[in-house]
Amino acid sequence: MSHVTFTLLMALLISGAVALPGDRSGRERVYSAAYTFLVCVASIVGGGWLMYLVHG
């Protein structure tokens, strides 16, 4: 399994877990999970490019 695949799996796990706490409706939880997952993916891509620019 490549680092990218594992990182995406972790992002999926974190998104699901972060959506579970609190008093929210099912729809809110789905939105929250989707939002967190997209933010994670954006951070992974952004961080990857940043490291590429810093280290080459």
Q: Which is nearer to another protein, 17 or 39 (CB)?
A: 17
CB of 1 to another protein, least distance (A): 7
CB of 20 to another protein, least distance (A): 6
Query: How many other CB atoms are found less than 10 A from the CB of residue 37?
Result: 19
Residue 22: which of 11, 33, 13 has the closest Cα?
Answer: 33
Residues 6+ apart with CB under 8 A from 30: 19
Q: Which is nearer to another protein, 18 or 44 (CB)?
A: 18
Q: Where does this chain bind another protein (CB under 8 A)?
A: 1, 3, 6, 10, 13-14, 16-18, 20-23
